[in-house]
Amino acid sequence: MSRDPASGMAAGSRPRRPVFLQPLQIELPVTATVSFGHRVSGLLLALALPFLAWVLALSLRDPAGYGRVLAGLHSLPARLVLVLLAWALAHHCAAGVRHLLFDAGIGTTLPVARGSAWAVHAFALAVAALVAGGLW
Amino acid sequence: MRLSIFRYNPETDSRPHMQDYEVTPAPGDRMLLDVLERIRTLDDSLAYRRSCREGVCGSDAMNINGGNGLACITPIAGLKEPVVLRPLPSFPVIRDLVVDMTRFFEHYHAIRPYLIRHDPPPEREYLQSPQEREQLDGLYECILCACCTSECPSAWWNPERFLGPAALLQACRFIVDSRDQATDERLEQLDDAYKLFRCRVIMNCTHVCPKGLNPAAAIERIRQAMLRRGL
Amino acid sequence: MKAFYAGMRGWLLQRATALYLLGFVICFSLRGLLTPPASFEAWRAWMLSPGPRLATLLFFVAVALHAWIGLRDIALDYVKPFALRLAVLAAVAGGLAATLGWAALTLSS
């Protein structure tokens, strides 16, 4: 899609009128960043699922496989991935609990929803930091 | 005061551009709309909607420094300069800050925004207890300015099929009304993958509503009504 | 009892699986942190004992359903061309089914 740098316009094709829609030029409250984080973390966790099945199969196969999993998890790339996945899991769980509370009608006023959004971000980063601390 | 305003004239422009303005507010100018009116005395080609100029009609909704709001109730004190004014995001632009609201009102009509009664009408008025009337607080005040729907990412990605926060807040207003007798039909109509369920409670709607309403909570109330109805 | 339709059904399934997944993640994280397996034999004996085995199998079923709803939502939002969306959804369904099958095979050995 072509964009005009001055106005940030997307060249609208249907309808024939132009449309201003440039997410980076529109304010993003903390409730929106948590929602986006929920989506990104969910995608990361879904991508990790086949690897989880693989690790499970390998670790249960024989002592050699179990040793390979343990050694593999301590390699540098694996540790970086584990920290990322720890963030994703913590964020997805915390934001999910927040969603379930919303569904029950709890915390849906803007000040409370903003507070819980900050809490989700803080919790996820804290868990990631703890896991990083545990792995190094 | 410096402003940067989105300009688009369909007759002469192939694409929109941003135009800078420098204007000195008069002593009585308190709101952004006052400044826009002052700009129009210098440049009468600038197009925007406005009517009541006190936050009741909902005509002058626009994107102000990245966030949607009504120019007439946005104080100029505290606005970061240059004040960047753009038309409502995701709405087709007719000219400058004037957008096409056709789809917005189609979604509004789709929720049937009127009382539906199956019984014959009473001889006099429909009565409600004070408690029943209280259910409508925070819903009936909506002025349909479209600030919320225009800033909702779910509506950005599915503008045709997701009804958007404004229409859904209105839907809630009739679903919880004790006088309405089409609650079941209303709930059933909204129960598909798109009309309501694209909402992810991002809460941009509640964040920008110039009337301080909470469409996100209204949508959750509809979901709870659906759940109660099914169980 | 009135029927639930497409919107509510997906939403309920997402919530129900979320509750199970949340419980599973908390229990298995605590167990892994408090008493990490000492050896291959201990790990295998614990994992393949009836409780954890069934719970893990259920986890893969629940996570496949939960991820399907979530990934479908992402596709509905961002992938607009019909053929591409179909391809993405087919790949997601295939990947999730294969993952579930692999885990079931592992846990039934």
pLDDT at position C25 over 60: yes
Q: Which of B204, B214, B220 sits opposite A32 (nearest CB)?
A: B204
- A13/C50: higher pLDDT: C50
pLDDT at position B17 over 60: yes
Spatial contact of B110 and B163, defined as CB atoms under 8 Å apart: yes
pLDDT at position A14 over 80: no
Shortest Cα distance from C71 to chain A (angstroms)?
7
All residues of chain A having their beta carbon less than 8 Å from the beta carbon of residue B207 are 29, 31-32, 110
CA angle B31, B32, B36 (to 5 degrees): 125
Q: Which of A46, A62, A100 sits opposite C67 (nearest CB)?
A: A46
Q: C74: pLDDT confidence band, cut at 50, 70 and 90?
A: very high
Share of chain C residues as helix, strand and coil, in percent rounded to the nearest 5: 85, 0, 15
Q: Which pLDDT value is given to residue A10?
A: 54
Q: A136: pLDDT confidence band, cut at 50, 70 and 90?
A: confident
**Cα–Cα dist B147/B207, whole Å:** 10
Query: Which residues 161-180 in chain B show a CB within 8 A of chain A?
Result: none
Closest of B179, B197, A4, A66 to residue C15, by C-alpha: B197
What is the mean pLDDT of the segment spanning C11-17? Answer: 97
Cβ neighbours around B74 below 10 Å, total: 22
Helix (H) or strand (E) holding A113: helix A110-135
**Cα–Cα dist B219/B154, whole Å:** 13
Spatial contact of B223 and B200, defined as CB atoms under 8 Å apart: no
pLDDT at position A6 over 70: no
What is the mean pLDDT of the segment spanning C37-50? Answer: 94
pLDDT at position C28 over 50: yes
pLDDT at position B200 over 80: yes
pTM: predicted TM-score of the whole model, two decimal places: 0.93
Spatial contact of A123 and A34, defined as CB atoms under 8 Å apart: no
**Given CB atoms, is C102 within the 8 Å cutoff of chain B?**
no
Q: Which pLDDT value is given to residue B121?
A: 86
Q: Which of C4, C7, C78 sits opposite B196 (nearest CB)?
A: C7
Please list the residues that pair with B22 across neighbouring strands: B2
- A17/B10 CB distance under 8 A: yes
pLDDT at position B177 over 90: yes
Q: B230: pLDDT confidence band, cut at 50, 70 and 90?
A: confident
Structure ipTM:
0.94
Q: Which DSSP symbol is given to A19?
A: B
What mean pLDDT, rounded, does chain B reach? 96
**Cα–Cα dist A116/A107, whole Å:** 8
Q: Which sign does the torsion angle of CA B49, B54, B57, B62 carry?
A: positive
- A4/C33: higher pLDDT: C33
Residue count (chain A): 136
- B123/C17: higher pLDDT: C17
What is the mean pLDDT of the segment spanning C70-97? Answer: 97
- C48: tokens are 């393949």
All residues of chain C having their beta carbon less than 8 Å from the beta carbon of residue A82 are none
Which tens digit of pLDDT belongs to each residue from B67-107? 999 999 999 998 999 999 999 999 999 999 999 999 999 99
Q: Which residue of chain C comes nearest to A60, CA vs CA?
A: C44
**Given CB atoms, is B191 within the 8 Å cutoff of chain C?**
yes
pLDDT at position B57 over 50: yes
- HSE (CB half, 13 Å, CA atoms) of A13? 2
DSSP for A48-72?
A: HHHHHHHHHHHHHH-HHHHHHHHHH
Number of CB pairs, chain A paired with chain C, less than 8 A apart:
65
- B147: tokens are 């600030």
Spatial contact of B88 and B147, defined as CB atoms under 8 Å apart: yes
Instruction: Please state the φ and ψ torsions of residue B217, each to the nearest 5 degrees.
Output: -70, -35
Q: Which of B93, B153, B223 sits opposite A20 (nearest CB)?
A: B93
Instruction: Please state the φ and ψ torsions of residue B16, each to the nearest 5 degrees.
Output: -75, 160
